[in-house]
Structure 1
Amino acid sequence: MSRSVRLDAVLIQAVIAGALSFAHLHDLAEAAHQSGWKAWAYPVSVDLLMVAAWRRLRTARRDRAAWTWFVIALSASLGANVATAGLLDLEHVPAWLRILVAGWPALAFLGGTLLVHSPTAAPVPAQPVDEVAVPEVEMHRTDEPAPAVDLAPELTAAPEPATAPGPVVPVALLDHARKIAEAHQASTGSPMPADVLSTRLQLPAPMTAAIAAQLQLT
């Protein structure tokens, strides 16, 4: 089907639904003792309130007031359709329905006034984003060669280990060793060797070496 045929079908369906709803509202208002031109004014009032609420919803989809009045007008139209479908005795309309029909003009006037004269929130214009100025960096090219980088790690001489200090020789022990060495030299005519002094003293090797160094024994 072409688009024109679909639009025609929708329009025909809208005319039928509007005419039936209009007639049901008229019959309900007339049953509630609103005779003459007043019975015809009620359908117009309901439809106008529904149209005003729908136009408000087109510009403000999240407007709670517009949704509220649209639901009220739609409920009035659907209620009239259901009430006149044989579920309600139109010869004996209950009192609460007569009160509701009688109070509808004031309610519709209040809703229409609020929908037409209530300000709508103006859309916030998008702020233009200022372009951030990026400073231009001038690259200077030179013909000078880049300095050579020595990638080999720098070799440094390892520090020599510190010589551990020798043992402290007591003065009395040093004098005793000197006397032994002098007695050996007097008897033999030659200096006393260090190994002989070590055998005579029976001391640890480090201590004997320290004594021999101080006595200058070989």
Structure 2
Amino acid sequence: MVLIDEEGYSIHAQVYPPADELFKNRVKEGGVYTFSYFRVRASNIYYRPVENDQMLVFTKWTKVEEVLVVPPAFPMYAYSLASPEQLQARIDTRAQFTDVVGVITAISNTGTTQTKLRQGDSTKRTVTIQTPSNILLDAVLWSQRATAFPADEVHKDGQTSPQVVLFVGTLVKSFGGMSLSGSLSCKWYINPDIPDTKKLLARWCAHLDS
């Protein structure tokens, strides 16, 4: 899990079996909770979802209480956008997942391909975005992530207005020069209500009008 507090600080949390069954139906994405009686340790060496040197570990003694009255300004998205320099530095590394935002410029159909890491054919879909730095970047979604992406809905809505996507939990790969790879850890938010979306749309519309 990725948790974010009222001040916008984020941290990674993990639950190991068999304790994971205790939290499966008690903690939902988008919910606000107070947690107590958890462990704190150094963050994972690989596949860190947020820039935090520490992480939480929930155990069978961890207490969860849902907050019913949520402050109106409570942030709902935990992300840290990678700069162009960070994207280059993270190519083919496993240390940290990468978050990016961009205007969707193209969506491929799903297809199948063979890779060295996966046995048999793998389903994939490519979503091309234009980042705030005007970089055209392919996000290659694999397997369940490829079929789950709402391509038809995005295409329909894109006929009347630009569609912004926030990808979190991707890895930067050298395929095609530089691209993003999105497997089970990858999530996306279409037109999220965040300042970066508003800035990107304003810049995009100004470019179209010029």
Regarding TM over 0.5, the answer is no
Normalising by the smaller structure, the TM-score range is under 0.3
Q: Relative to total residues, which structure has the larger helix share, 1 or 2?
A: 1
Larger C-alpha radius of gyration, 1 or 2? 1
Q: Relative to total residues, which structure has the larger strand share, 1 or 2?
A: 2
TM-score (norm 1): 0.19
TM-score (norm 2): 0.20
